[in-house]
């Protein structure tokens, strides 16, 4: 699939991973819609940098737990760029609640994490699908190795990421043959907001738990996003980028 001149929506665009993904897409000539929750000044500054260096870019604020906000977002992006070809569901929410500390797991936290990490991507995928079907498209969900084994910042986070992996498969079936849907499951990443919410001891253990004895690379993930968007016959797949941690 040709990338140059296409348009991508990237949620979590203010985050450490989201920014790297946006930069790589910009270098490939993809116009980008940067979706943020709160940091308007930061998002607009980054958007201006991308526009100056690479392509057309604009920042959009959106509550990804609101179906109305999501539908309005897609309409605004289409009005601004004329098309929507790609979507990266990267936005996520997490808090540190050790698995054994079950008493600290509240219903409010459970619902907030699931709403942001799983329901939001479902709603946004649904909203963009009708626009993408006109010209074809591709969607990438950013999950986590926490979705492959009982690990991570909390039980609801792990459950939400496991659900996102299966949502990828279900949407790949539902949206075929016009739209491809794939998933990337990163391992421990340094320099992201999600990582900042992890316990320090847990971070150190995660850093050395892989056979490569180092954190996963945000740029490796961004490269795979570009590669999957360029693909024509890959769908329903989850690619693990974790320095060889989960399989071993």
CATH of the domain at 136: 3.40.50.720
Phi/psi of residue 9, each to 5°? -100, 130
Q: What is the average pLDDT across 221-238?
A: 98
Domain count, the chain: 1
Tokens 């253990």 -> residue: 205
Q: What is the pLDDT of residue 206?
A: 72
Q: Could you tell me if residue 248 is inside a domain? A: no
Q: Which is higher by pLDDT, 157 or 193?
A: 157
**Over the stretch 47-71, which tens digit does the pLDDT of each residue have?**
999 999 889 999 999 999 999 999 9
Q: What is the pLDDT of residue 23?
A: 97
The residue annotated as part of the active site, out of 54, 157, 188, 202, is 157
**Over the stretch 170-211, which tens digit does the pLDDT of each residue have?**
999 999 999 999 999 999 887 676 666 666 777 777 767 788
Q: What is the pLDDT of residue 208?
A: 74
CA atoms within 13 A on the CB side of 58: 12
Q: Could you tell me if residue 246 is inside a domain? A: no
Q: What is the average pLDDT across 148-158?
A: 94
Give the structural domain span for 39.
Answer: 7-241
CA distances, 37 to each of 65, 113, 119, 123, 192 (Å) = 11, 15, 16, 16, 15
**pTM for the full predicted model:** 0.94
157 flagged as catalytic: yes
Q: What is the pLDDT of residue 198?
A: 67
Q: Could you tell me if residue 247 is inside a domain? A: no
């Amino acid at each position: 699939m040709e990338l140059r001149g296409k348009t991508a929506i990237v949620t979590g665009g203010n985050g450490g991973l989201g920014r790297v993904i946006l930069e790589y897409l910009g270098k490939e000539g993809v116009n980008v819609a940067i979706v943020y929750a709160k940091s308007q000044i930061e998002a607009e500054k980054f958007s201006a940098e991308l526009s100056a260096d690479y392509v057309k870019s604009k920042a959009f604020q959106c509550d990804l737990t609101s179906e109305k906000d999501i539908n309005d977002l897609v309409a605004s992006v289409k009005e601004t760029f004329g098309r929507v070809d790609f979507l990266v569901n990267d936005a996520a929410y997490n808090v540190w609640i050790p698995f054994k500390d079950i008493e600290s797991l509240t219903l409010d936290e459970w619902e907030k994490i699931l709403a942001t990490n799983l329901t939001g991507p479902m709603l946004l995928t649904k909203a963009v699908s009708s626009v993408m079907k006109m010209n074809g498209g591709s969607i990438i969900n950013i999950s986590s190795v926490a979705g492959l084994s009982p690990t991570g910042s909390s039980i609801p986070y792990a459950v939400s990421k496991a659900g996102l992996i299966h949502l990828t498969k279900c949407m790949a079936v539902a949206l075929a043959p016009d739209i491809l849907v794939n998933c990337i499951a990163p391992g421990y990443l340094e320099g992201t907001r999600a990582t900042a919410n992890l316990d320090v001891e847990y971070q150190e253990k995660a850093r050395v738990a892989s056979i490569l004895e180092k954190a996963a690379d945000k740029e490796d993930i961004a490269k795979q996003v570009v590669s999957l968007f360029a693909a024509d016959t890959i769908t329903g797949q989850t690619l693990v980028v974790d320095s060889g941690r989960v399989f071993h």
